[in-house]
């Protein structure tokens, strides 16, 4: 344990609270900067997806994790950002113009959604955002003059000042990393400022927040707007990464993936966005692994142990691993297990591990155990 | 013209009955436990598959298979409640919603793995055949849905209004600790409500089989049932059914009269309008926190 | 000019009249207590003043500004703060964060300045924290400063509610049953604090209270209510000896 004496308000306010922060985050940054030169191109591509999903995760965390407004419709904002980018590019608008435009447009739609959302809370808000997601998906399919409808839209690589950033190249990687760092910085700024505290106040007790002077309408709309704007930014990058977008990519399932990102990563802290994204993005390669490599290794092991039907074992495992819908089953089971056993998510698990080592050998499991509260009616919230 | 309209309305009512039954399942669970079960549609799907196994694979009589499927769903609902929902009671509502979504994912995947992903059919006494009322031609399959729904709702109404269980369920939803103190067997109430809700979903699934077949994606109809439940006001059982009917009719009519694409979103547009104008739904109560 | 003035306020829910034609005024710098049996309408009046309920009839004035229809967050801007009977703290935040939220009405930075965390935001943070530390010192909350509310005992939470209300630097402080759930020692502390709030900070206090010893030790004037009507208004001594009050509330 490291006792820290407080002598200065800055110690609470600044981002790098003490020297340990510089070391750990610095190393992380170094690793991420060097990664493209070390890992193969497939993994580099996946890391870019992690960056993009993290940006959405941060946006969703600000809205759902910190302001308490759950949204199951964020794929819609991603779509708005992506289609704005694609359409503007088609019109010949330069990248440096349409990138901020995606952000602003998504933010504006977010604000528009935020207004009616003022009257809704809890389950009603969730359902309203689902409905919003469906409507945007349908609009994307029908507004053919802009979005090219169900045929989808090709998105060309990013170009500015004569430089082309191909979607598999280093340039795009560092661009996404840079934007993620910018988004994280802005989010951290919000959270350590009066605005962020107002958000948390709204989440924990709207009544108290109002009586203190927090104008709920303003702050809720702003939260929606910021969240949507960040997701729109990610949408622009998403469009370029995939180089082809169509309405059936922006479904409720994608919105659910984003919620899974923050749920598994940990809802209380921005780290959760990144950790959760790593999980969600790694599920696909993991499934491929399960389908081919694991059965093969197990088959070989079975053979080594002299089992007669090693081949059959390998085949059945391969069949299970390759079953369509296994991804859904894994998601489902993991969500259920995480909520029951790991409600604080991966970041929570990391905190527990760190606390274990800090307090060794005095660590007690009960530190993090939730008080089992009896179900309190949410209707009277 | 008028004939078409009536035809469409009847179709809409039939569809609305299915939505209403799913919404009913939502509302039952919500009234008792304040949990919104996003997997309700998938439970409906599972009911259809159970029926397929009993009727088609085991060759039982339609009615026996129907009854068995509903019973199997009741048992399954109880199981889900014990294994998955009970450990997380007391968690924030968001977590519980996500667990049910996870359950939905898992159900779809497992069912796909066990029964395959092709469309399946079962032979029902209503799959074909029509009834002629004057110039109207009404299909048996749609009529059967309407009649069965009416019968089921009548039965449920009697159960909830004439027995102590209904009041006990409301009590547990509003103040679980208080209900415990009053001697209400809260855990049994929860199991029972999930069993009933799953059974209702299974019922809907079997009814739906002749119309929409049996397929893992049938659960997505469950999403349309949300607007139905909201329209009716989330705490109201007759409201859920009424909401379902409104959504069913609105959707079918917009499919027929409005340009393409409106049919899919009609339910959601209606939902948003209702949420703006009257958030507590048609029959819901407007509650306010006392400080 | 009275600080707060209620003019024939009435509140009806459905068929039930909770408050019936109540009028009184609270003068600047006094400690004014409302007493009465449960259901007398005290908390309803509180909720109307802090604008969570809308009066069915009558008007409310704060410093002669009409507040009858103002939204709650604007009341805070005018300088009215309240504590809640069922504690409404922000459970997942630390005590310090709760108190910092209390400074909300004094914020000088706009939202986009917060996002960029400009130097003026940092300076505003310093100023806010300085004021919050003054309140922490006043109420002896130092050792709880960085603890999360969810882990704190009930008595400490009540004090945190009070602290948060004080951080708004109100002109009028509404205390809803400040001594409920507190033991004798904590109630004693509460007496000293309420007196100090008035004498050191110049804040006017309007309380709802059941504990008559606290009422007698602290109040300048007492208003007794029953079934939504005013029974008596006067000094604690006068009200305690008023026959109607004795019959209705204090017992024979």
- Break chain C into its structural domains and give their ranges: 1-79+170-205+229-252, 94-167
For residue A93, the SS3 value is coil
Q: Is B287 on the interface with C (CB under 8 A)?
A: no
Asked if pLDDT for residue A231 goes beyond 60, the answer is yes
The average pLDDT across A247-260 equals 90
Worst-scoring range by mean pLDDT, A304-318, C35-49, C96-110? Answer: A304-318
Worst-scoring range by mean pLDDT, A25-39, A316-330, C123-137, C204-218? Answer: A316-330
Asked if pLDDT for residue A381 goes beyond 50, the answer is no
Q: Per residue in A107-116, pLDDT tens?
A: 999 999 988 8
**Nearest-by-Cβ selection for A210 from C73, C91, C128:** C73
Q: Which residue has the higher pLDDT, A195 or A293?
A: A195
Name the pLDDT band for A310 (thresholds 50, 70, 90).
low
Q: What is the pLDDT of residue A2?
A: 64
Give the CA radius of gyration of chain C: 19
Within 13 Å, how many C-alpha atoms sit on residue C93's CB side?
27
Worst-scoring range by mean pLDDT, B215-219, C211-215, C229-233? Answer: B215-219
Cβ distance A374 to B108 less than 8 Å, yes or no, reads no
Whether B197 and B42 have beta carbons less than 8 Å apart is answered as: no
Whether A308 and A285 have beta carbons less than 8 Å apart is answered as: no
Cα–Cα separations (whole angstroms), residue C105 to A5, A198, A211, C101, C102: 30, 11, 10, 9, 7
Q: What is the pLDDT of residue A74?
A: 94
Worst-scoring range by mean pLDDT, B131-140, B184-193, C81-90, C129-138? Answer: B131-140
Q: What is the pLDDT of residue A380?
A: 45
Residue % of chain B over a pLDDT of 90: 6
Asked if pLDDT for residue B286 goes beyond 70, the answer is no
Name the pLDDT band for A370 (thresholds 50, 70, 90).
low
For residue A50, the SS3 value is helix
DSSP-derived secondary structure for B78-113 = HHHIIIIIGGGTTS-HHHHHHHHHHHHHHHHHHHHH
Q: Is A141 on the interface with C (CB under 8 A)?
A: no
Q: What is the dihedral of CA A71, A75, A77, A79, to 10 degrees?
A: -170
* Strand A244-245 to A153-154 pairing: antiparallel
Cα–Cα separations (whole angstroms), residue A299 to A285, A287, A290, B217: 20, 17, 13, 34
- Chain B nearest C-alpha distance from C46 (Å): 10
Asked if pLDDT for residue A371 goes beyond 80, the answer is no
* Strand C4-13 to C16-26 pairing: antiparallel
End-to-end CA distance of chain A: 39
CATH of domain B2-277: 1.10.3470
pTM for the full predicted model: 0.88
Q: Is B277 on the interface with A (CB under 8 A)?
A: no
- Chain C nearest C-alpha distance from B84 (Å): 26
**Nearest-by-Cβ selection for C116 from A9, A189, A212:** A189
Worst-scoring range by mean pLDDT, A329-333, B38-42, B256-260? Answer: B256-260
* Mean per-residue pLDDT of chain A: 85
Q: Give partners of B (≥3 CB pairs < 8 A).
A: A, C
Residue % of chain A over a pLDDT of 70: 92
Give the CA radius of gyration of chain B: 19
The average pLDDT across A363-368 equals 73
Q: Could you give the CA distance from residue B197 to residue B118 in angstroms, rounded to a whole number?
A: 27
Q: Per residue in A33-91, pLDDT tens?
A: 988 888 888 888 999 999 999 999 999 999 988 888 889 999 999 999 999 999 998 88
| Contact residues on chain B for A260, CB-CB shorter than 8 A | 98
Q: What is the pLDDT of residue C96?
A: 93
Q: Could you give the CA distance from residue A34 to residue A6 in angstroms, rounded to a whole number?
A: 36
Q: What is the pLDDT of residue A228?
A: 96
* Mean per-residue pLDDT of chain C: 90
Cβ distance A268 to C92 less than 8 Å, yes or no, reads yes
ipTM, 2 dp: 0.89
Domain range annotation of chain A:
39-268, 284-369
Q: Could you give the CA distance from residue A41 to residue A181 in angstroms, rounded to a whole number?
A: 22
| Contact residues on chain B for A135, CB-CB shorter than 8 A | 265, 268-269, 272
The average pLDDT across A349-356 equals 86
The average pLDDT across C52-76 equals 90
Cβ distance A343 to B95 less than 8 Å, yes or no, reads yes
Asked if pLDDT for residue A171 goes beyond 60, the answer is yes
Q: What is the pLDDT of residue B175?
A: 75
Tokens 């289609």 map to which residue?
A: A83
* Mean per-residue pLDDT of chain B: 82
Cβ distance C121 to A196 less than 8 Å, yes or no, reads no
Q: What is the pLDDT of residue A240?
A: 92
CB burial of residue A262 (10 Å; 0-12, 13-18, 19+): buried
Name the pLDDT band for A8 (thresholds 50, 70, 90).
confident
Worst-scoring range by mean pLDDT, A170-179, B77-86, B205-214? Answer: B205-214
- Chain A nearest C-alpha distance from C210 (Å): 23
Does the domain at C1-79+170-205+229-252 match CATH 2.60.120.10? Answer given as no
Asked if pLDDT for residue C40 goes beyond 60, the answer is yes
Q: What is the pLDDT of residue A4?
A: 74
């Amino acid at each position: 344990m490291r006792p820290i004496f407080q002598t200065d308000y800055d110690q609470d306010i600044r981002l790098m609270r003490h020297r340990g922060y510089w070391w750990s985050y610095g190393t992380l940054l170094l690793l991420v900067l060097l990664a493209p030169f070390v890992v193969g191109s497939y993994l580099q591509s996946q890391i870019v997806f992690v960056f993009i999903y993290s940006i959405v995760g941060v946006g969703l965390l600000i809205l759902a994790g910190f302001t308490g407004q759950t949204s199951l419709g964020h794929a819609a904002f991603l779509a708005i950002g992506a289609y704005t980018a694609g359409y503007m590019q088609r019109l010949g608008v330069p990248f440096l113009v349409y990138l901020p435009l995606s952000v602003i447009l998504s933010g504006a739609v977010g604000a528009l959604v935020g207004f009616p959302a003022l009257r809704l809370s809890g389950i009603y808000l969730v359902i309203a955002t689902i409905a919003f997601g469906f409507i945007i998906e349908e609009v994307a399919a029908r507004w053919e003059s802009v979005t090219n409808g169900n045929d989808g839209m090709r998105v060309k690589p990013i170009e500015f000042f004569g430089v082309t950033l191909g979607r598999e190249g280093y340039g795009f990687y560092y661009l996404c990393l840079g934007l993620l760092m910018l988004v994280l910085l802005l989010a951290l700024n919000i959270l350590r400022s009066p605005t962020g505290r107002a958000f948390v106040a709204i989440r924990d007790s709207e009544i108290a927040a109002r009586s203190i002077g927090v104008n709920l309408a303003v702050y809720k709309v702003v939260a929606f707007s910021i969240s949507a704007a960040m997701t729109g930014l990610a949408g622009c990058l998403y469009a370029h990464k995939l180089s082809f977008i169509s309405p059936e990519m922006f479904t409720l399932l994608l919105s659910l993936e984003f919620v899974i990102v923050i749920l598994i990563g940990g809802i209380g802290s921005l780290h959760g966005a990144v950790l959760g994204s790593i999980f969600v993005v790694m599920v696909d390669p993991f499934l491929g692994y399960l389908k081919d490599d694991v059965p093969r290794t197990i088959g070989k092991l079975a053979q080594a142990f002299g089992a007669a039907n090693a081949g059959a074992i390998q085949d059945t495992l391969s069949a299970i691993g390759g079953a369509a819908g296994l991804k859904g089953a894994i998601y489902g089971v993991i969500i259920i297990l995480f909520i029951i056993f790991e409600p604080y998510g991966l970041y929570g698990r990391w905190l527990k591990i760190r606390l274990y080592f800090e307090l060794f050998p005095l660590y007690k499991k009960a530190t993090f155990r939730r008080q089992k509260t009896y179900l309190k009616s949410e209707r009277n919230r | 013209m008028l004939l078409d309209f009536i035809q469409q309305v009847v179709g809409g009512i039939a569809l609305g009955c299915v939505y209403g039954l799913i919404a009913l399942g939502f509302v039952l669970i919500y009234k008792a436990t304040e949990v919104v079960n996003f997997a309700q549609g998938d439970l409906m799907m599972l009911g259809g598959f159970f029926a397929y196994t009993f009727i088609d694979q085991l060759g039982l009589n339609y009615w026996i298979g129907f009854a068995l499927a509903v019973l199997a769903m009741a048992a399954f609902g109880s199981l889900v409640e014990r294994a998955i929902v009970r450990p997380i009671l007391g968690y924030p509502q968001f977590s519980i919603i996500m667990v049910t979504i996870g359950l939905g994912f898992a159900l779809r995947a497992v069912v796909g793995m066990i029964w395959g992903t092709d469309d399946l059919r079962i032979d029902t006494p209503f799959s074909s055949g029509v009834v002629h009322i004057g110039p109207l031609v009404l299909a048996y399959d749609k009529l059967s849905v309407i009649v069965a729904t009416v019968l089921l709702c009548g039965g449920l109404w009697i159960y909830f209004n004439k027995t102590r269980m209904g009041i006990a369920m409301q009590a547990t939803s509003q103040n679980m600790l208080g209900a415990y103190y009053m001697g209400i067997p809260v855990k049994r109430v929860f199991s029972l409500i999930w069993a009933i809700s799953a059974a209702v979903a299974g019922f809907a699934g079997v009814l739906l089989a002749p119309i929409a077949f049996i397929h893992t994606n049938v659960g997505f109809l469950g999403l349309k049932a949300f607007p139905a439940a909201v329209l009716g006001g989330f705490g109201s059982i007759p409201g859920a059914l009424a909401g379902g009917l409104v959504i069913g009719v609105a959707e079918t009519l917009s499919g027929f009269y409005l340009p393409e694409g409106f049919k899919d979103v009609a339910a959601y547009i209606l939902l948003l309008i209702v949420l703006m104008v009257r958030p507590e739904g048609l029959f819901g109560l407007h509650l306010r926190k006392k400080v | 000019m009275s600080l707060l003035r209620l003019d024939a306020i009435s509140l009806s829910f459905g068929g039930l009249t909770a408050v019936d034609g109540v009028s009184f005024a609270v003068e600047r710098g006094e400690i004014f207590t409302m007493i009465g049996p449960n259901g007398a309408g005290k908390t309803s009046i509180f909720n109307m003043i802090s604008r969570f309920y809308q009066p069915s009839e009558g008007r409310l004035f704060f410093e002669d500004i009409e507040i009858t229809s103002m939204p709650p967050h604007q009341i805070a801007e005018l300088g009215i703060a309240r504590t809640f009977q069922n504690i409404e703290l922000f459970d997942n935040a630390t005590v310090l964060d709760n108190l910092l939220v209390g400074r909300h009405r004094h914020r000088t930075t706009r939202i986009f300045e917060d996002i960029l965390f400009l130097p003026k935001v940092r300076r505003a943070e310093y100023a806010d924290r300085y004021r919050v530390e003054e309140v922490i010192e006043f109420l002896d909350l130092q050792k709880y400063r960085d603890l999360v509310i969810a882990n704190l005992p009930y008595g400490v939470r009540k004090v945190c509610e009070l602290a948060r209300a004080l951080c708004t630097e109100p002109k009028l402080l509404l205390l809803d049953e400040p001594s409920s759930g507190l033991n004798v020692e904590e109630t004693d502390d509460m007496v000293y604090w309420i007196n100090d709030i008035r004498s050191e900070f110049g804040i006017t206090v309007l309380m709802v209270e059941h504990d008559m010893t606290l009422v007698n030790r602290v109040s300048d004037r007492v208003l007794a209510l029953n079934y939504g009507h005013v029974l008596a208004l006067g000094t604690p001594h006068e009200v305690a000896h008023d026959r109607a009050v004795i019959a209705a509330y204090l017992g024979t």
